[in-house]
Structure 1
Amino acid sequence: MNLRRNFLSILFFISAITISFSQVSKRSVEASRITNSPKIDGTLDDVIWNSLPKYGNFNMLDPGTEGDISKGYETEFQLAYDDKAVYVAVYLNDLDPDAIASQFSQRDDINVQADYIAIALNTYNDGINETRFGITSAGTIFDSKISINNEDLGYNVVFEGRMSKDAKGWYAEFKIPYRALRFPEIEVQDWSINLYRKMIHINETHSFAPIDNTKGKRTQYNASISGIRNINPPTRLTLFPFAQGVVSNFEGETETSISAGMDIKYGLSDSFTLDATLIPDFGQAAFDNVTLNLGPFEQTFSEQRQFFKEGTELFNKGRIFFSRRVGNRPSGPLEELGEHEVIDEFPKRVQLLNAIKVSGRTQENLGIGIFNAITERTFTAVRDSITGTIREVEVEPLTNYNIVVLDQQFNDNSSISLINTNVVRDGHFRDANVTAVVFDVSDKENTYNTSGRAIVSNVNLATGNQSGLRTELDIASTQGKFRYRVGHDFANTTFDINDLGLNRTNNYNNFVAGLSYEIFNPTKTFNKYRFQLTARHSRLYKPSVQTQNYINFNSFFVLPTRFAFGGNVSWDSKRDDYFEARVAGRFVSFPESVGGRVWISSDFRKKFALDSGLGCRVAFDDPQRQYYIDFSPRYRFSDKFNMILRSDFSLRNKNFGYVNIIDDEVILGQRNITSLENAITASYNFDPYKAINFRFRNFWTTVDYTENIFFELNEDGTRQLASYDTTDEDPNANFNIWNLDLSYTWRFAPGSEATLLYRNQIFNNDNESTVNYTESLGSLFDQEIQNTVSLRVTYFIDYNNLKTFLKKDS
Structure 2
Amino acid sequence: MKGMMLYRFFTLCLMVCSVGCAIGYAQKQENHELLARKVSPGSIKIDGLLDEPVWQQAAVANHFWQNFPYDSSAANAQTEVRVLYDEDYIYIGAICYGQSPDEIVVSSLRRDFSSDNNDFFLANFDTFQDGTNGFQFGVNPYGVQREGLIADGGNRGTDEAWDNKWFAEVSRLADYWVVEMAIPFKSIRFKNGSTEWKANFLRGDLAHFERSSWVPVPRNFSISSLAYTGILRFETPLRKPKSNIVAIPYLTGSYNEDFTQDTTGAVYKGNAGADFKVALSASLNLDLTFNPDFSQVEVDRQVTNLDRFEIFFPERRQFFLENADLFANFGFSRIRPFFSRRIGIARDTVTGLIVQTPILYGARLSGKVNRDWRVGLLNMQTNPDESRGIVGKNYTVAAVQRRVFTRSNIAAVFVNEQTTSTEQQDFTFNTNQYNRVVGLDYNLASADNTWQGKFFYHQLFTPENLPGQFAHAAYLAYNKPTFFVAWNHEWVGGNYKPSTGYVPRNGHFRLEPFARYTIFPKKSKHIARHNIFFYNSFYWDSLGTSTDRFSQLRYEAVLQNTAGLNLAVRRNYVRLFFSFDPTNTDGLELPEGSEYTTYSAEFNFNTDRRKLFNLDGGINYGQYYNGHLLGIQGSVNYRFQPFGSISLSGNYIRILLPQPYNSAELILLGPRIDLSFTRKLFLTTFVQYNNQIDNVNINARLQWRFKPVSDIFVVYTDNYFANELQQKNRALVIKATYWLNI
TM-score, reference length from structure 2: 0.89
Is 2:242 aligned against 1:247? no
Quote how far apart the aligned CAs of 1:565 are: 0.5
- Paired residues for 1:417-496 under 5 Å: 417-426=411-420, 427-428=430-431, 430-443=433-446, 446-461=449-464, 468-496=469-497
Aligned partner (choices 19, 23, 30) of residue 17 of structure 1: 19
Q: Secondary structure at the match of 1:281?
A: coil
Taking structure 1 as reference, are residues 55 and 259 closer, same or farther at Cα in structure 2, changes over 3 Å only?
same
Amino acid in structure 1 at the alignment position of 2:578? F
For the 8 Å contact 2:468–2:494, the answer to whether it is kept is: no
Q: Which residue of 2 aligns with 1:154?
A: 161
Note closer, same or farther for the CA distance 1:744–1:207 as it changes in structure 2 (3 Å cut). same
CA contact (8 A) 1:555 1:568 kept: yes
Does residue 145 (structure 1) correspond to residue 149 (structure 2)? The answer is: yes
1:578 corresponds to 2:584: no
Q: Give 2:598's aligned residue.
A: 593
2:548 maps to 548
Does the alignment pair 1:87 with 2:91?
Answer: yes
- Alpha-carbon separation, structure 1, partners of 2:480 and 2:141: 34
Q: Deviations over 1:573-597 (max 9, x none)?
A: 3x21213379xxx933231100121
Deviation at 1:655, TM superposition (A): 6.6
Give the partner amino acid of 1:432: N
Is the CA contact 1:459–1:496 (under 8 Å) kept in the aligned structure 2? no
SS of 1:460 mapped into structure 2:
coil
CA contact (8 A) 2:149 2:322 kept: no
> How many angstroms does 1:448 deviate by?
3.3
Alpha-carbon contact 1:152-1:310 (below 8 Å) kept = no
1:517/1:345 Cα in 2 relative to 1: closer, same or farther (>3 Å)? closer
Displacement of 1:310 after TM fit? 4.5
Matches within 5 A, 1:27-46: 27-37=32-42, 38-46=44-52
Letter in 1 for 2:197: W
Aligned to 2:296: 284
Cα-to-partner distance string for 1:238-257 (whole Å, 9 max, x where unaligned): 11111111123444512211
CA distance in 1, matches of 2:233, 2:522: 35
Checking the alignment, whether the CA contact within 8 Å between 1:677 and 1:698 is kept in structure 2 is: yes
Structure 2 match to 1:720: none
Q: 2:54 pairs with 48, 53, 56, which one?
A: 48
C-alpha separation between the residues in 1 aligned to 2:348 and 2:644?
Answer: 44
What's the CA shift for 1:530? 1.1
Q: RMSD value over aligned CA atoms?
A: 2.6
Distance in 2, matches of 1:738 and 1:307, equals: 30
In the alignment, is the contact (CA less than 8 A) between 1:64 and 1:521 conserved in 2? no
Per the TM alignment, residue 402 of structure 1 is displaced from its structure 2 partner at its CA by 0.9
Equivalent of 2:111 in 107, 123, 141:
107
Residue type of the alignment partner of 1:377: P
Task: Sort the Cα spacing of 1:593 and 1:345 in 2 relative to 1 into closer, same or farther, 3 A.
Answer: closer
CA–CA distance in structure 2, aligned partners of residues 673 and 523 of structure 1: 48
Output the amino acid matched with 1:616. Answer: Y
Equivalent-residue separation in structure 1 for 2:521 and 2:164 (angstroms): 35
**Distance (whole Å) between structure 2 residues aligned to residue 230 and residue 167 of structure 1:** 39
Q: Secondary structure at the match of 2:319?
A: helix
Letter of the aligned partner of 1:588 in structure 2?
A: G
Among candidates 603, 606, 609, match of residue 604 of structure 1? 609
Describe the superposition over 1:160-184 as per-residue Cα deviations: whole angstroms up to 9, x where unpaired.
1111122242111111111111111
Partners of 1:521 and 1:128 lie apart in 2 by: 32
Are 2:337 and 1:320 aligned?
yes
Aligned to 1:258, which of 262, 267, 270? 270
CA distance in 1, matches of 2:66, 2:580: 55
CA displacement at 1:476 relative to structure 2: 2.3
**Alpha-carbon deviation of 1:454?**
1.4
Q: Is the 1:125–1:224 Cα contact (8 Å) retained in structure 2?
A: no
Question: 3-state SS of the aligned residue for 1:219?
Answer: coil
> Aligned letter for 1:80?
L
> Is the 1:346–1:380 Cα contact (8 Å) retained in structure 2?
no
- The structural deviation recorded for 1:458 is 1.5
3-state SS of the aligned residue for 1:101? coil
Q: Secondary structure at the match of 1:83?
A: coil
CA deviations over 1:275-305 (Å, ceiling 9, x no partner): 1221111223322345687866455543343
Q: Distance in 2 between matches of 1:373 and 1:652?
A: 44
Letter in 2 for 1:323: S
Name the SS for the 1:221 alignment partner.
coil
What's the CA shift for 1:274? 0.9
Equivalent residues of 2:202, 2:211 under 8 A apart: yes
Q: Find the counterpart in structure 1 of residue 696 from structure 2.
A: 738
Cα separation, 1, equivalents of 2:117 and 2:508: 45
Q: CA deviation at 1:743?
A: 2.5
Q: Name the counterpart of 1:396.
A: 390
Shift, 1:598, TM fit: 0.3
Q: 5+ residue gaps in structure 2? A: 331-335, 421-429, 582-590
| Change in 2 beyond 3 A, CA 1:114/1:748 | same
Contact 2:105-2:207 within 8 A present in 1 as well: yes
Aligned pairs (5 A) from 1:469-548: 469-497=470-498, 499-519=499-519, 523-524=523-524, 525-541=526-542, 543-548=543-548
**Alignment partners' CA distance in 1, 2:233 and 2:446:** 28
1:649 and 2:652 aligned: yes
Matches of 2:646 and 2:709 in 1, distance apart?
27
Q: Distance in 1 between matches of 2:619 and 2:344?
A: 39
Q: Distance in 2 between matches of 1:114 and 1:449?
A: 29
Q: 1:631: Cα distance to partner? A: 1.9
- Corresponding residue for 2:63? 57
2:619 counterpart of 1:614? yes
Q: Are 1:193 and 2:205 matched, yes or no?
A: no
Q: 1:159 to 1:352 in 2, by over 3 A?
A: same
- SS across alignment from 2:341: helix
Of residues 691, 714, 734, the one that matches 1:791 is 734
Q: Distance in 1 between matches of 2:363 and 2:554?
A: 43
Distance (Å, rounded) in 1 between the aligned partners of 2:456 and 2:284: 26
Counterpart Cα distance in 2 of 1:521 and 1:403: 49
CA gap of 1:211–1:171, structure 2 versus 1, over 3 A, is: same
Distance 1:754 1:344, change over 3 A: closer
Other-structure match for 2:585: none
CA distance in 1, matches of 2:416, 2:205: 47
Q: Is the 8 A contact 2:596 2:626 kept in 1?
A: no
Give the deviation of 1:329 after TM superposition: 1.6
Mark the CA change 1:744 to 1:442 in structure 2 (over 3 Å): closer, same or farther.
closer
After TM superposition, the structure 1 stretch with the greater mean CA deviation from structure 2, 8-17 or 787-796, is 8-17
Structure showing greater radius of gyration is 1
SS in structure 2 of the partner of residue 568 of structure 1: strand
Cα shift readout 1:390-421 (whole Å, capped 9, x = no counterpart): xxxxx333211011111222333322211111
Equivalent residues of 2:435, 2:461 under 8 A apart: yes
Query: Which residue pairs with 1:75 in the alignment?
Result: 79
| Alignment check: 8 A CA contact 1:101 1:200 kept | yes
Contact 1:282 1:305 in 2 (8 A): yes
Which of 330, 335, 346 matches 1:329?
A: 346
Measure, in 1, the Cα distance between the counterparts of 2:105 and 2:216. 25
Shift of 1:470: 1.2
Contact 1:746-1:753 within 8 A present in 2 as well: yes
Query: Secondary structure of the residue that 1:415 maps to in structure 2?
Result: strand
Tell whether the 8 Å contact from 1:295 to 1:580 is kept in structure 2 after alignment: no
Q: Cα distance, 1:602 vs. partner?
A: 0.2
Deviation at 1:683, TM superposition (A): 1.7
Decide which of 664, 675, 678 is 1:673's aligned counterpart.
664
From the superposition, tell whether residues 567 and 459 of structure 1 become closer, same or farther in structure 2 (CA, over 3 Å).
farther
Partner secondary structure for residue 743 of structure 1: strand
Deviation at 1:68, TM superposition (A): 2.7
Provide TM-score, normalisation by structure 1.
Answer: 0.82
